[in-house]
Amino acid sequence: MRGLAAQPVGIVAHTVRPASPVDASGLAAIDTRVNISPWTETQFAAACAGGEGNHAWALVVEEDGRLEGFVVVSQVLDEATLLSIAIAPPQQRRGLGRLLLSAALARAQRDGAQRCLLEVRETNVAARRLYTENGFALDGVRKNYYPCEGGREDAVLMSKELKGTANECA
Ligand SMILES: CC(C)(COP(=O)(O)OP(=O)(O)OC[C@H]1O[C@@H](n2cnc3c(N)ncnc32)[C@H](O)[C@@H]1OP(=O)(O)O)[C@@H](O)C(=O)NCCC(=O)NCCS
């Protein structure tokens, strides 16, 4: 894939690597378990395809060859947007989300991004804390953006500047 170092980033038995289209079913299976509105396998396959003209790319984290999580980013010139990040429920709260986020920001920066944007459900305490701890700041709120049980909830808009060296953002 474009721009990502070939060597995996490893922590203990975990490996972060670029996703490929064959990972799409595994990513969809994880997403179905954790998201109210999961992506389809076709959507993941497109995000994992890479290549010229495809703005999206994805990284996966594995433990002993098992897919445990993913992050999907869309990148246009100097702006990256974090589209999705998820860790399989039994593996949550073990540092894998932080690991994937750092790897994604490092790759985005290496590929020329100066800013990373995202939006997150207001009630998603885990994700909001992950982003805040990793330097994302509040940009605003989109009222009643997401459907949720019993109505709608706000989207919280956040961003992080990615200036400086790759090491600073990883
Ligand atoms: C959000 C998510 C990716 C975090 O991944 P994770 O591997 O569980 O997170 P980590 O173990 O790396 O935790 C990093 C930090 O995030 C925060 N965090 C993670 N889970 C949390 C929880 N359940 N409650 C509160 N804070 C939490 C903490 O600050 C944590 O640091 P700490 O463990 O030192 O306190 C994971 O909870 C997930 O897959 N959620 C469902 C999908 C989702 O909501 N994606 C985000 C869409 S915007």
Domain assignment of residue 111, yes or no: yes
pLDDT for residue 109 is more than 60: yes
Q: Which domain CATH number covers 34?
A: 3.40.630.30
| Count of structural domains within the chain | 1
Residue 1: pLDDT band with limits 50, 70, 90 = very low
Q: Which long-range contacts (CB under 8 A, 24 or more apart) does 33-36 make?
A: 33/88, 33/89, 34/86, 34/87, 34/88, 34/89, 35/84, 35/86, 36/146, 36/147, 36/148
Nearest residue to 156 (alpha-carbon basis) of 129, 118, 104: 118
Per-residue model confidence as pLDDT tens digits over 49-73: 977 778 999 999 999 889 999 999 9
Nearest CA to ligand 1 atom 22: 126
Nearest CA to ligand 1 atom 15: 130
Domain assignment of residue 155, yes or no: no
Note the pTM of the prediction, 2 decimals.
Answer: 0.91
In this prediction, residue 139 carries a pLDDT of: 98
DSSP assignments along 18-77, one per residue: E--GGGHHHHHHHHHHH-SSPPPHHHHHHHH--STT--EEEEEEEETTEEEEEEEEEEET
Name the residue range of residue 54's domain.
9-116
Domain assignment of residue 58, yes or no: yes
Task: Kindly state if the Cβ of 94 falls inside 6 Å of ligand 1.
Answer: yes
In this prediction, residue 149 carries a pLDDT of: 87
Query: What share of the chain in percent tops pLDDT 90?
Result: 79
51 Cα: distance to centroid of ligand 1 (angstroms): 30
In this prediction, residue 163 carries a pLDDT of: 80
Domain assignment of residue 81, yes or no: yes
Domain assignment of residue 150, yes or no: no
Name the active-site residue from 119, 145, 149, 161. 119
Domain assignment of residue 138, yes or no: no
